Amino acid sequence: MSLTFPLGFTAAAMAAGIKPSGKTDLSGVTSASDCTWAFAGTRSTTAAACVTRNRELYASGQPVRALLVNAGNANAATGRRGAADNADMADAFGSVLNVPAGGVLTASTGIIGHLLPMDRVLSGIEHLPDELSEGADAFASAIMTTDTRPKAAQATLSTGARIVGTAKGSGMIHPDMATMFAFAFTDAAVEQEALRAAFPAIVNRTFNAVTVDGDTSTNDIALVLANGQAGEVPLEEFLTALEEVMRDLARQIAADGEGATKLLTVQVSGARTEAEALAAARTCCVSPLLKSAVHGNDPNWGRVIMAVGRSGAAVDVGGLTVSVQGQPVFAGGPLPYDAAQVSASMKADEVRFVIDLGVGEASGEAWGCDLSADYVRINAEYTT
């Protein structure tokens, strides 16, 4: 991966000593001019300090200029001290950039319930500006926790404006807004009102359509920052490109789920509403039984029927159809098929189920991964 940020954005990353591994764990992005922005944060009632503060800034409507991220420590369930530490991080980064603290967003990820080593964090922040560059690769790597690889995507619009997105997420991934970190940066000029009006639906169709294990983090954040340095763009073109970048990142997160060996994609059509289509697709992707079958290359379509049935989506069983890797296996009743051949087709990097609920015209898609023994190992040893 070799990626540069859009015009006016620079980033820096360093090892501040937050992670015991000594890997990069403190990073920041700054813009040469004020940004319009849109935000989504976890709906968890135990949200971390960074989510709470960002939500307050979002409500104020003020522009932002920078984002500071630390990995290795979630700064969640840390009380008033954690909230004060989060604010101090923003103040410190704003000070070295000569930007008001209210123009600095924060994001933390890692172990819950531990106070940040603020002496190391603040010392690192002082040196971050010395490392600023247009390269995005170091930033994409520095935000990772249990990810096995950095995640990035980009798009170029007809005007030459660009969108660059980075994300992190591997475990504790389930739809309840964002389900990970996802940051998009663009030099397109986009009105804040229009951006914020469109962003929730984009998040719902992308990051809220990803599930790895059914658990939602305390720290989930999705952001898009637009500094306008490349000028105005057609709004519809921009929003389409933004959703494509977000969808690409969402699929990368699902494919890199903890212990995953393959990406699970579930496409649902024939639903009464998009919400019901997404509910059915998500429920399939989070089902431990279906995820285990995918890991074992078992075309057990009964687990699809089970998941769809408990999803809350309306279904006409007589009109319901299911296919696995392009092979129809159910159409109002069982269909004959070569199980060994379908099983062999499931030995792939991506396993795809296509379902028609038979009750409407709406559709939706969700992404997950298989469930392997490595998922248990990774999380059994997470803090030990």
Q: Pick the closest to residue 298 from 268, 339, 326 (CA basis).
A: 339
Provide the pairing of β-strand 181-186 with 221-226.
Answer: parallel
Calpha distance 129→375 (Å, rounded) = 37
Widest CA span of the chain, in angstroms?
68
Strand partners, 322: 330, 355
> What are 372's two structure tokens?
């392997």
Q: Is 179 tagged catalytic?
A: yes
Number of H-type helices and E-type strands within the chain: 11, 13
**How far apart, in Å, are the Cα atoms of 177 and each of 47, 173, 185, 323, 381?**
12, 10, 19, 29, 27
> What are 319's two structure tokens?
């009109």
Catalytic residue among 179, 186, 216, 218: 179
Q: Which helix (H) or strand (E) holds 266?
A: strand 263-271
Calpha distance 375→170 (Å, rounded) = 10
Q: Pick the closest to residue 283 from 302, 295, 266, 296 (CA basis).
A: 266
Calpha distance 175→273 (Å, rounded) = 18
Calpha distance 177→172 (Å, rounded) = 12
Catalytic residues: 179
